[in-house]
Amino acid sequence: MIQQMIREEQHSARELFIPEEDLAQEATTRMSPATEQVVSESRVLTILHMFNRDYLYGQGRFDEYKDGLLLKWGDGYSRKHIWVSVENGNLLFETSHLKPCGKPYCNGTHHVLTKELYTNIDLVNQELGDLFRRPVYEPPDD
Tens of pLDDT, residues 39-68: 999 999 999 999 999 988 888 889 888 999
pTM of the model: 0.75
| pLDDT score at 46 | 94
Could you tell me the residue ranges of all domains in the chain? 29-137
| pLDDT score at 106 | 92
Query: Which ranges of the chain have pLDDT less than 50?
Result: 142
Classify the C-alpha dihedral 48-49-54-59 as positive or negative. Answer: positive
Any idea of the CA torsion for 28, 139, 103, 106, to the nearest 10 degrees?
A: 50
| pLDDT score at 142 | 46
Pairing of strands 90-94, 61-65: unpaired
